[in-house]
Amino acid sequence: MTQNDAYISIRNVNKFFGSFQAIDDVSIDIHQGEFFSLLGSSGCGKTTLLRMLAGFESPTSGEIYIDGQPMSDVPPHQRPVNMVFQSYAIFPHLNVRDNIAYGLRKQKLPKNKRNELVDEMLELIKLPDYGDRKANQLSGGQRQRIALARALILRPKVLLLDEPLGALDKQLREQMQLELRALQKTVGITFVFVTHDQEEALTLSDRIAVMAEGRDLQVDTPTRLYENPLTREVASFIGTMNFFDGKVTGISDGTADVDVKGIGEVSTTNFGPRLRPGEDVCIAIRPEKLNLTESEPQQMGNKVQGLMDKAAYLGERSHYYVGLDGISHPVAISAQNRQRAEGTPEEKRTVWISWEDNAFVVLEKG
Ligand SMILES: Nc1ncnc2c1ncn2[C@@H]1O[C@H](COP(=O)(O)OP(=O)(O)OP(=O)(O)O)[C@@H](O)[C@H]1O
Ligand SMILES: [Mg+2]
């Protein structure tokens, strides 16, 4: 991936508010038509980064390029971007049509052209019959769609969305996620989407930047972030993960052998380029990549015996916690209940844990 095919290029950007550093040497390339998310917990700098893309804040150092142009001297209204804020600022006293057309008022379009564009937007957001409604007679989800339409009607090359679904309840939020994703594919605009909800980021995004304390920890596809996190920080931020201490005993042919505390010898191809033999590492496995059986799984080469600590039946799946010799925390295992459950396994009973080759990931020391 060259820097040239990046549509938005954030290069070594730092942002200080007084002596407080909100953004710490962030470099991210975003491609045209991408649904790109900034994911991180509260205060990690997501809004600050978005506001710098929009031009409402300037980097203290570093540069932002959009479509090959440096943005440092370009004011917000001249950037090919539009922003949808978390508190969707639509005008309650205007009707839906006038809200959507609001940004067009400077363009002096003939009335019929203007109406045509608004109709197109109403169709797109699936509210074709709502044009004459007052904005304060709409539900939260409908208002959110109006806010989106108002931004989209200006055909920005980039749409910046700051937690646009934050105020919605879970059901509406999930429905809007699907609509937003479909909408983005239809209009082909580059989306930079801010969220602190990992599931939302995984569902929607082509790629995600995981952020913490002003830094970009890892920029990757949802699958790679989940399956191949580079650091413990990223691995524990996305989903649940079991961590173990280990020592690399050898690396050959792209496979690392690691002596894992409580588990034994583990071979895996999932590790970064900086790994060295003899290194002490953190090694990890997702709960659903571990199998749990009461008798020894004869076909599995990778296995260890443990003691059932706790079992929780959740209907569609069960969560188990199994104690292993030499490890203080029980290991989490998640299993789908494909067959009818006949009751949960007894606690304090001996069980077997097994796993497929390459189920473990070796993490870089963060
Ligand atoms: N104008 C400002 N002056 C001083 N500090 C600021 C300013 N704006 C943001 N900050 C600080 O910068 C840090 C990042 O803020 P930012 O709003 O970017 O976080 P965020 O990731 O969007 O968080 P949230 O998920 O809560 O919206 C925070 O610690 C915040 O207090
Ligand atoms: Mg924010």
The minimum-distance atom of ligand 1 relative to the CA of 38 is: 21
Q: What is the mean pLDDT of residues 154-171?
A: 85
The minimum-distance atom of ligand 1 relative to the CA of 196 is: 25
Q: What is the mean pLDDT of residues 176-204?
A: 90
C-beta separation of 306 from 351 below 8 A: yes
Give the CATH number of domain 240-363. Answer: 2.40.50.100
Question: How is 244-273 classified by DSSP, letter by letter?
Answer: EEEEEEEEETTEEEEEETTTEEEEES---T
Q: Which ligand is nearest to the CA of 211?
A: 1
Ligand 1 near 43 CB (within 6 A)? yes
Q: Rounded to the nearest whole angstrom, what is the distance from the C-alpha of residue 213 to the centroid of ligand 2?
A: 13
d(CA 292, CA 353): 5
Identify the pLDDT of residue 1. Answer: 43
Task: For the chain, give every domain's residue range.
Answer: 3-232, 240-363
What pLDDT, in 10s, does the model give residues 115-124?
999 999 998 8
Which residues are within 8 A (CB) of 241 and not within 5 positions of it... i.e. 6 or more apart? 229, 235, 284, 285, 286, 287
Q: Rounded to the nearest whole angstrom, what is the distance from the C-alpha of residue 49 to the centroid of ligand 2?
A: 9
Q: Judge whether residue 2 has pLDDT over 60.
A: no
Question: What band does 339 get if pLDDT is binned at 50, 70 and 90?
Answer: confident
CA 12 to chain centre: 21
Q: What is the mean pLDDT of the chain?
A: 91
The minimum-distance atom of ligand 1 relative to the CA of 20 is: 5
- Angle of helix 140-152 relative to helix 170-187, nearest 10 degrees, comes to 20
Question: What band does 175 get if pLDDT is binned at 50, 70 and 90?
Answer: confident
C-beta separation of 313 from 340 below 8 A: no
Percent of the chain exceeding pLDDT 90 equals: 70
Name the 3-class secondary structure at 90: coil
Closest residue to atom 24 of ligand 1, CA basis: 42
User: Which CATH topology does 3-232 take?
Assistant: Rossmann fold (3.40.50)
Name the 3-class secondary structure at 159: strand
Question: How is 95-117 classified by DSSP, letter by letter?
Answer: BHHHHHHGGGGGG---HHHHHHH
Question: CA 246, 269, 363: angle at the middle one, nearest 5?
Answer: 45
Structure-model confidence comparison of residues 149 and 215, the more confident one: 215
Of 20, 41, 86, best ligand 1 pocket probe by most atoms within 8 Å of the beta carbon: 20
Question: How is 232-243 classified by DSSP, letter by letter?
Answer: HHHHHHSS--EE
Looking up tokens 């076909």, which residue turns up? Answer: 299
Is there a shared CATH topology between the 3-232 domain and the 240-363 domain?
no
Q: Rounded to the nearest whole angstrom, what is the distance from the C-alpha of residue 166 to the centroid of ligand 2?
A: 10
Q: Which ligand is nearest to the CA of 197?
A: 1
Closest residue to atom 31 of ligand 1, CA basis: 43
What pLDDT, in 10s, does the model give residues 241-289?
999 999 999 999 999 999 999 999 999 999 988 899 999 999 999 999 9
Of 24, 46, 49, best ligand 1 pocket probe by most atoms within 8 Å of the beta carbon: 46
CA 181 to chain centre: 14
C-beta separation of 217 from 229 below 8 A: no
